[in-house]
Amino acid sequence: MSAASRTDAEAAVVLKGVSKHFGGVKALDYIDLEIYDGEFFSMLGPSGSGKTTSLRIVAGFEQPTAGRVMLYGRDVTTTPPFDRDVNTVFQDYALFPHMTVEQNVGYGLMIRKVNRHEIQRRVGEMLEMVRLPGTQARRPSQLSGGQRQRIALARALINRPRVLLLDEPLGALDLKLRQQMQIELKAIQREVGITFIFVTHDQEEALTMSDRLAVFNHGRIEQIGAPADVYERPLTAFVAGFVGTTNILTDDIAQRLVGRPAALSIRPEKIRLLPQGTTPDPDQFAASGTVRDVIYVGMTTRFIVALDGGGELEVVSQNLDTRAEEAFAARGTPMVAVWHKSAMRELSTAGA
């Protein structure tokens, strides 16, 4: 089902050497990207990383300074937005305030001169799909944030585009509603079976929803891959730190562990704290230190360990059998931190 696993999948969107400069600012710096037909693809990155600019270039709202944009094999680099087979869900929803829900959702069909009955029927279908049936006569101002979001989605999908672009569509919603919409968006994508390109700065959202994701930083893509791939095998320090949290070991400790200077990434949840004096297995690394702080987070406990050779290590352990009192009792005690060699990644220092 995952489009990412298909090697011969047709490319829905291809960006070839795309750059975008705003005055002296390089918003995008030579991006190469291939998005497959039918996949849920996320563009993840902090603000100003170039993810929204990439999306706007695919939509046609921006022209790249250099490079080509292909949509299903067709070069659309200079094609205006209204001639592209893509539709967008905007961050601020961009609903038309002077129109009813029915006129908003049916706008694309009205422009294409579809007859009135057909428009009414299809608007009804779309409202059914986004689970807001019967809201035809309302105005956007009479809807809640979550409802506006759904109307924006219905309006973008009614044209049956081949690619749907979503620009941080869940950003304005509260946490519960956001999680609910994440599940619904995935369900809708499976139902309509078209390519979704989803821009977000929320790594958890990207990990939850995507078939594949691209991590943007400073106008470049640092890594592209399936969520588990990117999380387990980050290529750069930026990716390791932006997607999830991580410990980065350098200098002396790296020298001691792998015998040469390097930047090493180890996820907090991959480390176990054992009593002082425990000898690690041959396939494990170990570092001794003292628990400096204990933060109890309910489901898990975070330990901050001050390493003997200098530096700190964050360790997260699930509160499987541990009670809170036991966890707190660890504060100030010397421990050995142990992890599997395979859980640690060596990072390229170029992107850091």
Partner 1 sequence: MHSRLRAGWGVRLGAFGALVFLHFPLLIIILYAFTTEEASFRFPPPGLTTQWIGELFNREDFWRALGLSLQVAVIATLLALILGTLIALALARANFFGRDSISLLVILPIALPGIVSGIALRSAVSILGVPFSTWTIILGHATFCIVTVYNNVVARLRRTAHSQVEASMDLGASSFQTFRYIILPNITTALVAGGMLAFALSFDEVIVTTFTAGNQQTLPIWIFSQLTRPRDRPVTNVAALFVIAVTFIPIILAHQLTRDRRD
The site for partner 1 (CB under 8 A) is made up of 59-61, 80-82, 86-88, 90-92, 94-96, 98, 107-108, 111-112, 155-156, 159
DSSP state at residue 65: S
Closest by CA position to 237, among listed 214, 252, 215, 258: 215
Token code pair at residue 92: 């601020």
Check: CB of residue 217 under 8 Å from CB of residue 51: no
Least distance (Å) between residue 184 CB and partner 1: 21
- Cβ-based nearer residue to partner 1, 7 or 115: 115
Q: Distance between CA atoms of 22 and 18, rounded to whole angstroms?
A: 13
- Report the nearest approach of partner 1 to the CB of residue 180 (Å): 24
Cβ-based nearer residue to partner 1, 11 or 94: 94
Q: Which is nearer to partner 1, 164 or 263 (CB)?
A: 164
Calpha distance 123→225 (Å, rounded): 36
Nearest-5° Cα angle at 306, 239 to 264: 30
Q: Which is nearer to partner 1, 86 or 237 (CB)?
A: 86
Choose among 277, 305, 286, 261: nearest CA to 343.
Answer: 286
**At its nearest, how many Å lie between partner 1 and the CB of residue 167?**
9
The residue (of 155 and 267) whose beta carbon lies closer to partner 1 is 155
The DSSP annotation for 239-270 comes to HHHHSS--EEE-HHHHHHHHSS--EEEE-GGG
Please say which residue, 59 or 181, places its beta carbon nearer to partner 1: 59
Residue 218 Rama label (left phi>0; alpha psi -120 to 50; beta): left
Radius of gyration of the chain (CA): 24
Rounded to a whole number of angstroms, the minimum distance from the CB of residue 114 to partner 1 is: 11
CB of 112 to partner 1, least distance (A): 6
Of residues 84 and 178, the one with the C-beta less far from partner 1: 84
CA-based nearest residue to 84, from 113, 106, 60, 68:
60
Residue 153 CB, nearest approach to partner 1 (Å): 12
d(CA 224, CA 346): 17
CB neighbours of residue 139 within 10 Å: 16
In angstroms, give the least distance from the CB of 164 to partner 1.
11
